[in-house]
Amino acid sequence: MTDLSVNICGVKLNNPLIAASGTFGFGHEYSEFYPLSTLGGISCKGITLKPRLGNPPPRIAEGKGGILNSVGLQNPGVDHFIDNDLPWLSQQGTAVIANIAGNTVEEYCMMAEKLNDTTVDMVEMNISCPNVKHGGVAFGTSCDSVASITRAVRSHCRKPLIVKLSPNVSDIAEIAKAAQSEGADAVSLINTLTGMRIDIETSRPILKNNTGGMSGPAVFPVAVRMVWEVKKAVDIPVIGMGGISTWEDAAEMLIAGADALQIGTVLFNDPYAPIKICEGLSAFLQRKGLKSVSELTATIKPW
Amino acid sequence: MKQVKKYDSQPFELVKSSEIAEGIFDLELKNPQLAKITKPGQFVHIAVPGKVLRRPISVCDVNGDTIRIVFRIKGEGTRILSETRVGDKLDLIAPLGNGFEINNDKKYAFIGGGIGAPPMLYLAKSCAKAKESYAILGFANKSAVILENDFNDVVKKTIVTTDDGSYGVHGFVTTALAEIIDEVDEVCACGPTPMLKAVSEICSKNQKPCQVSLEERMGCGIGACLVCACKVKHGGEEEYLHVCKNGPVFKAEEVVWND
Ligand SMILES: Cc1cc2nc3c(=O)[nH]c(=O)nc-3n(C[C@H](O)[C@H](O)[C@H](O)COP(=O)(O)OP(=O)(O)OC[C@H]3O[C@@H](n4cnc5c(N)ncnc54)[C@H](O)[C@@H]3O)c2cc1C
Ligand SMILES: Cc1cc2nc3c(=O)[nH]c(=O)nc-3n(C[C@H](O)[C@H](O)[C@H](O)COP(=O)(O)O)c2cc1C
Ligand code: FES
């Protein structure tokens, strides 16, 4: 038997597949399809200090092989999450990752404090949301700001801290190094790429927010390249995501350098994708004579 | 795994397909497990070969093991769906959303504007007082009229309106509704937003409850991704609910109509 489990910052995941933040809510809806222990972990919908209404609709548009979203972090707030969603989620036999976003560094720190004494397994700091006016991606695009926010949140956060990186930067490896140097336990990438679609009949953007974040199969090659660059630059675990939709994609992302994976957009098309990807990966490992999925990580032989 | 699922992603076999008006397709899809738990006003989320996103389509009718859907070719996704051949399988997440609430003691007006007519059919069929209820169906012109006979079999009277007067009553569904509203207890409507807004205004003036079925672009279809937002108000507070999970049917007075 092949071993699909992985260990990320001391947290054991049943398998390398984590549901990507914002695509899986707090798990309830997908638990109608299968037990949530089918997944290695769940990165919850991005939460903020206070509840957020989110952006006006339409919030989603389609492109060839990809989608754009502009949800704008609609969420019930960190306290509601801790009181109402977390107790149930923590009993589902899967790792729970709280994804946090803030308008200010202080807000991130306050949320990290609130999460310290909860059953959350890890904290993922989202400094890469393209859909909010304040904060969000602004923290994630320069090495200095990434370093200072990571340092600040690190000093308040007693959970393993993942920093989620934006692909909307010129050198993502430098950003990852900045996060590592200030105490990040892991990095996850990529968040969405900013994009836009326009209705040619009305000249109106499809999204009410005009622009949105792109995800899905079309971003996969970009994500693979970035995971490869980041893995070479840091020693901490790398959680790879962006457009993974088949077990072959999952294997490719692991080979590029990912220690674990997140999947999001594919779930909209096929809620059962995690099961299919795990089965495919198992068979692949067996065929390759590998005992553990971790043996695949960073086995890329670049030219 | 749960014994009884509220919804699932499963293959449906296409058993019948026809073009009932130009660019409007009528499909019958078979799945023994999911068809029979489908209620009026619910929808299905259909995987389209080659597309990243599924397409949400209302359930028009349920007959034993099959569901019927009627849709208009809007863009590429619905065009691909229209080319499905009998015997082919489509993957549907079904049934989704909250349907209409039907009260067995009430007489209704079922209002469908254009491609909003189909979901009214199963609703009308499920209504105890259908034979005392009205269907009002509005279309652009004669060639766009669909499902008139289907409704005729079910309700007391079917009123068809056309914008250009080429068939039935010349005018909008609201013209017809104003004339019969005293004879019904409640109104259910599906169609373009301006129509729904106008219908809900007539209902509130006449103090008749009104349920409307809304549309919004969707991702997951089950309430997890929060893209299909719809603004509603409870008391003074406005918030975004989600068409796929909290709807698609809402109480008209709670909807905040956007312009
Ligand atoms: C709950 C619900 C029930 C519906 N029921 C029916 C029905 O019974 N019959 C019918 O003909 N149509 C129905 N629609 C509309 C139907 O979903 C769209 O016409 C269809 O998705 C268009 O896809 P496309 O690829 O042909 O068009 P495109 O414009 O190319 O689609 C591009 C993207 O926008 C989305 N989109 C475009 N228009 C709409 C719309 N009006 N509503 C939601 N998403 C849209 C598509 O799903 C796709 O993701 C319903 C929509 C909803 C939300
Ligand atoms: C509808 C939607 C909402 C998202 N919301 C969040 C969020 O709240 N926080 C976050 O860090 N990422 C969010 N993301 C980004 C995803 O977590 C992920 O980084 C991205 O979608 C790439 O992966 P994918 O191609 O597998 O979807 C969202 C993505 C989508 C499609
Ligand atoms: S489509 Fe995902 S919440 Fe409605």
Q: Which domain holds residue B155?
A: 108-213
User: What is the per-residue pLDDT for B240?
Assistant: 94
Chain B interface disruption, residue of A28, A30, A32, A85, most B CBs within 10 A:
A32
Residue A186 pLDDT exceeds 60 = yes
CA distances from A78 to A44, A81, A82, A125 (A): 11, 5, 6, 13
Q: Does the residue A303 lie in any domain?
A: no
CATH number of the domain at A236, please. 3.20.20.70
Taking any CB pair shorter than 8 Å as contact, residues of chain B touching chain A are: 1-2, 5-9, 47, 51-54, 91, 93, 216-231, 239-240, 245, 258
Which ligand 3 atom is at minimum distance from the Cα of B218? 1
pLDDT, tens digit, 9 for 90 and up, residues A153-179: 999 999 999 999 999 999 999 999 999
pLDDT, tens digit, 9 for 90 and up, residues A204-239: 999 999 999 999 999 999 999 999 999 999 999 999
ipTM: 0.94
Do residue A268 and residue B52 have CB atoms under 8 angstroms apart?
yes
Chain B interface disruption, residue of A266, A269, A272, most B CBs within 10 A:
A269
Among B228, B240, B241, say which to mutate for ligand 3: greatest number of ligand atoms within 8 Å of CB.
Answer: B228
Among B44, B52, B220, say which to mutate for ligand 3: greatest number of ligand atoms within 8 Å of CB.
Answer: B220
User: What is the per-residue pLDDT for B84?
Assistant: 97
Q: Say which ligand is closest to the CA of B116.
A: 1
Q: Does the residue B33 lie in any domain?
A: yes
Residues A26, A85: contact at Cβ < 8 Å? yes
Q: Does the residue B140 lie in any domain?
A: yes
Q: Which two tokens stand for residue A176?
A: 């990852």
Average pLDDT, chain A: 95
Q: Does the residue A127 lie in any domain?
A: yes
Mean pLDDT per 10-residue interval, chain B, length 259 residues:
82 97 97 95 97 98 96 97 97 97 95 96 94 95 95 95 94 93 95 95 94 97 97 89 96 88
Q: Does the residue A301 lie in any domain?
A: no
Residue A130 pLDDT exceeds 70 = no
| Nearest CA among B223, B99, B106 for reference residue A27 | B223
User: What is the per-residue pLDDT for B235?
Assistant: 80
Return the H-helix or E-strand segment holding A260. Answer: strand A260-263
Distance CA A41, CA A18 (A): 4
Closest partner residue to B227 (CB to CB) among A24, A34, A59 is A59
User: What is the per-residue pLDDT for A140?
Assistant: 86
Q: Which two tokens stand for residue B162?
A: 């056309």
Residues B162, B145: contact at Cβ < 8 Å? yes
Number of Cβ pairs < 8 A linking chain A and chain B: 108
Q: Does the residue A64 lie in any domain?
A: yes
Closest partner residue to B217 (CB to CB) among A30, A58, A217 is A58
Q: Distance from CA of residue A186 to its chain's centroid?
A: 12
Same domain, B189 and B112: yes
User: What is the per-residue pLDDT for A137?
Assistant: 63
For B190, phi then psi, to 5°, come to -145, 135
Residues A199, A224: contact at Cβ < 8 Å? no
Same domain, B187 and B134: yes
User: What is the per-residue pLDDT for B164?
Assistant: 94
User: What is the per-residue pLDDT for A1?
Assistant: 73
Residue A67 pLDDT exceeds 90 = yes
Same domain, B115 and B65: no
Which residues on chain A are in Cβ contact (under 8 Å) with B245? 29
DSSP 3-state assignment of B7?
Answer: coil
Same domain, B27 and B80: yes
Exposed e or buried b for every residue in A24-58, given b needs 16+ CB within 10 A? bbbbbbbbbbeebebbbbbbbbbbbbebbebbebb
Could you give the number of structural domains in chain B? 2
CATH number of the domain at B47, please. 2.40.30.10
Same domain, B15 and B58: yes
Could you give the number of structural domains in chain A? 1
Same domain, B132 and B197: yes
Q: Does the residue A89 lie in any domain?
A: yes
Same domain, B23 and B76: yes
Which ligand 2 atom is at minimum distance from the Cα of A244? 26
Q: Residue A141 — very low, low, confident or very high, per pLDDT cuts 50/70/90?
A: confident
Distance CA A122, CA A115 (A): 9
User: What is the per-residue pLDDT for A236?
Assistant: 98
B62 alpha carbon – ligand 1 mean position (Å): 21
Largest CA distance in chain B: 55
Measuring from atom 28 of ligand 1, which residue has the nearest CA?
B75
pLDDT, tens digit, 9 for 90 and up, residues A28-41: 999 999 999 999 99
CATH number of the domain at B134, please. 3.40.50.80
CA distances from B52 to A21, A62, A268, B177, B214 (A): 18, 8, 8, 40, 23
User: What is the per-residue pLDDT for B258?
Assistant: 74
Q: Does the residue A75 lie in any domain?
A: yes
Q: Which domain holds residue A264?
A: 6-296
Residue A135 pLDDT exceeds 60 = no
User: What is the per-residue pLDDT for B249?
Assistant: 97
User: What is the per-residue pLDDT for B98?
Assistant: 94
pLDDT, tens digit, 9 for 90 and up, residues A234-253: 999 999 999 999 999 999 99
Q: Does the residue B202 lie in any domain?
A: yes
Residues A286, A4: contact at Cβ < 8 Å? no
User: What is the per-residue pLDDT for A297?
Assistant: 97
Same domain, B78 and B142: no
